[in-house]
Chain A
């Protein structure tokens, strides 16, 4: 990075954060601090919902996922449009009519306080842990870019987001989201344009897509019924539906974004905007990864994309195996490049037999190259058993740093930062709000009337969660693939929380005791299954939700019959 990159990066990030803090510096009303201005339109809501969900991990890890496994991950989002329709039709009207600050207040009114605290507690546990992982992602990037210490970057980015989120609350979060999304759109468009321009002459988008497809990177719809496959049409439709429904319907970081609307119409339009845009957007980000895969097949990929980690060993006293595997990989890369050229030439001539032969040769060359990348990881682990071998998160940032012109590098690093700050801000805002409304005000009901004190307390809790997230991020190095780590964590808890809400909406005879104990039992079941079974993690959303609903109905029936037995004896 040179001076131009630094000006773009620092100017963008500090500028947006300062703008958010300055514009909201006079907020004193609890309603505005926690819900934002009621004049918020659907565009702001839509972008804010999108910015909350799309963290730095989205732009860092998903292209890497496209590079490594192809675009199949897009199926993860297939349940999202239907989930948002259900949220619009069922959840949203109820939240707005009751005028709640948090989704869990609704549980308190529908059931009882212990169920409300359970829902809020599961949210704080799950989101509180995930928030540490999301702050860790941009720190990896800057650590690779600047060679700075990871822990210092975590602390500085954490402090920046804490500053404006604590000062302006929900209003500052929504305001900054709009500008952060503008930076993200500009940056990703720049990356796509540069990537297409850098593809070798004669390859172009069509040729690159054909190569990616032939090497299995464009399988966007998998109808397999194998439960061990992580991403299929069915896991996306069913598991993804439950994951999205619980995330958008019951996760306060999202609920807080869309209850801010001027009217029910604005909130609904903001959500429908996301229902239409999210899958195409994820497809484009994954496609960037698939095209990067082809780009690196042609120019020759490094044997391991986390070059800082690789070079640390390759330049050390035991460099022998590293140099040897690098040399073999260079030969395999050259073979792959030549095989790709031969296949493209055969395709151009229209000779079916030659095309089939060269295609088989290309697939074989790629298989050997991939095997050598796997071997390189084994060499790395042999040298350092604690080394992180998943290098796909470094693919996109490597492209940015080595292929983009100056200025654009700063912009793309700003994209990662903007995405990290936007999702982090919404999460801190939600954590602070839930702690204040569902726990602090519950324990101190007399303090509820003192609005200024409530705002002060909400600010303190937001800051406290920010400090916790920073502390957790400092120990988050275990996460091999960041996006999956967050989704797995969410899938373990979200299903049960969604089950509680679905019981609240649709099983009107079920009371607080039944749903509370059913939720505790369902959560224990999911945790036991996660540690003992080997199935796609998206299924835990469905299992947790179904277990909570079925157990609630059974327990309610049991409690009802016990009450009927007790009644005559009391008489």
Chain B
């Protein structure tokens, strides 16, 4: 039987050290929000020029 994994490290405890972001979760949400904006931009770009 494989040994059980040790418990996950408290990796989100370390602050990202970025102004305006208190946790890594906030950074991830910001990055995914940026992605949505990029897709919206692409859709608008397509609509405007076709």
Contact of B31 among A94, A233, A276 (CB under 8 A): A276
Contact of A212 among B14, B27, B34, B49 (CB under 8 A): B49
Q: How far is the CB of B13 from chain A (nearest CB, A)?
A: 10
**A218-B41 Cα distance, complex, nearest whole Å:** 12
* Chain A positions 145-162 with a Cβ under 8 Å from a chain B Cβ: none
A-B pairs, top 9 by smallest CB distance, nearest first, are A213-B49, A213-B50, A93-B11, A220-B42, A81-B35, A511-B2, A209-B49, A85-B28, A221-B43
**A74-B9 Cα distance, complex, nearest whole Å:** 35
A218 B46 Cβ-Cβ under 8 A: yes
Cβ of B3: which chain A residues have Cβ within 8 Å of it? Answer: 109
Q: Which of B28, B32, B34 has the most CB of A within 10 A?
A: B28
Known pairs A85-B32, A268-B24, A272-B27; A279 contacts B45 (CB<8 A): no
Chain B 14-26: CB-based contact to A (< 8 A → 1; otherwise 0): 1011100000100
Cβ of A94: which chain B residues have Cβ within 8 Å of it? Answer: 8-9
A511 B1 Cβ-Cβ under 8 A: yes
Q: Which of A218, A504, A511, A512 has the most CB of B within 10 A?
A: A218
A444 at the interface (CB under 8 A from B): no
A390 at the interface (CB under 8 A from B): no
A214 B50 Cβ-Cβ under 8 A: yes
Contact of A88 among B4, B5, B28 (CB under 8 A): B28
A441 at the interface (CB under 8 A from B): no
A15 at the interface (CB under 8 A from B): no
> What's the dominant secondary structure at chain A's contact region?
helix
A210 at the interface (CB under 8 A from B): yes
**A218-B14 Cα distance, complex, nearest whole Å:** 42
Interface set of B (CB-CB < 8 Å, partner A): 1-5, 8-9, 11-12, 14, 16-18, 24, 27-28, 31-32, 34-35, 38-39, 42-43, 45-46, 48-50
Cβ of A214: which chain B residues have Cβ within 8 Å of it? Answer: 50
Q: How far is the CB of B6 from chain A (nearest CB, A)?
A: 8
Chain A 49-88: CB-based contact to B (< 8 A → 1; otherwise 0): 0000000000000000000000000100010011011001
B35 A279 Cβ-Cβ under 8 A: yes
Task: Provide 8 A-B residue pairs closer than 8 Å at the C-beta atoms, listed in order of the A residue.
Answer: A84-B31, A85-B32, A89-B11, A110-B5, A111-B2, A218-B46, A220-B43, A221-B46
**A210-B3 Cα distance, complex, nearest whole Å:** 61
**A109-B3 Cα distance, complex, nearest whole Å:** 8
Contact of A112 among B2, B27, B43, B50 (CB under 8 A): B2
**A97-B11 Cα distance, complex, nearest whole Å:** 10
**A269-B5 Cα distance, complex, nearest whole Å:** 26
A81 B32 Cβ-Cβ under 8 A: yes
Q: How far is the CB of A46 from chain B (nearest CB, A)?
A: 13
- B29, closest chain A residue (CB): A85
A341 at the interface (CB under 8 A from B): no
Q: How far is the CB of A241 from chain B (nearest CB, A)?
A: 11
Q: How far is the CB of B48 from chain A (nearest CB, A)?
A: 8
**A264-B18 Cα distance, complex, nearest whole Å:** 14
Known pairs A89-B24, A265-B14, A265-B17; A508 contacts B46 (CB<8 A): no
Known pairs A110-B5, A221-B42, A279-B35; A88 contacts B50 (CB<8 A): no
- B28, closest chain A residue (CB): A85
A216 at the interface (CB under 8 A from B): yes
- A111, closest chain B residue (CB): B2
A82 B38 Cβ-Cβ under 8 A: no
Cβ of B14: which chain A residues have Cβ within 8 Å of it? Answer: 263-265
Q: How far is the CB of B47 from chain A (nearest CB, A)?
A: 9
Cβ of A220: which chain B residues have Cβ within 8 Å of it? Answer: 42-43, 45-46
**A512-B32 Cα distance, complex, nearest whole Å:** 34
B27 A264 Cβ-Cβ under 8 A: no
A275 at the interface (CB under 8 A from B): yes
- B50, closest chain A residue (CB): A213
Q: How far is the CB of A47 from chain B (nearest CB, A)?
A: 18
Known pairs A89-B11, A93-B11, A275-B35; A216 contacts B1 (CB<8 A): no
**A280-B39 Cα distance, complex, nearest whole Å:** 10
Q: Which of B4, B14, B42 has the most CB of A within 10 A?
A: B42
Known pairs A81-B32, A93-B11, A265-B14; A218 contacts B1 (CB<8 A): no
Cβ of A398: which chain B residues have Cβ within 8 Å of it? Answer: none
Q: How far is the CB of B19 from chain A (nearest CB, A)?
A: 13
Contact of B38 among A110, A213, A233, A280 (CB under 8 A): A280
Known pairs A97-B9, A218-B49; A265 contacts B32 (CB<8 A): no
- A287, closest chain B residue (CB): B45
A216 B31 Cβ-Cβ under 8 A: no
Q: How far is the CB of A138 from chain B (nearest CB, A)?
A: 30
Known pairs A112-B2, A272-B27; A264 contacts B11 (CB<8 A): yes
Known pairs A93-B11, A111-B2, A275-B31; A283 contacts B49 (CB<8 A): no
Q: How far is the CB of A101 from chain B (nearest CB, A)?
A: 19
A143 at the interface (CB under 8 A from B): no
A190 at the interface (CB under 8 A from B): no
**A82-B38 Cα distance, complex, nearest whole Å:** 13
A219 at the interface (CB under 8 A from B): yes
**A218-B42 Cα distance, complex, nearest whole Å:** 9
A78 B50 Cβ-Cβ under 8 A: no
- A220, closest chain B residue (CB): B42
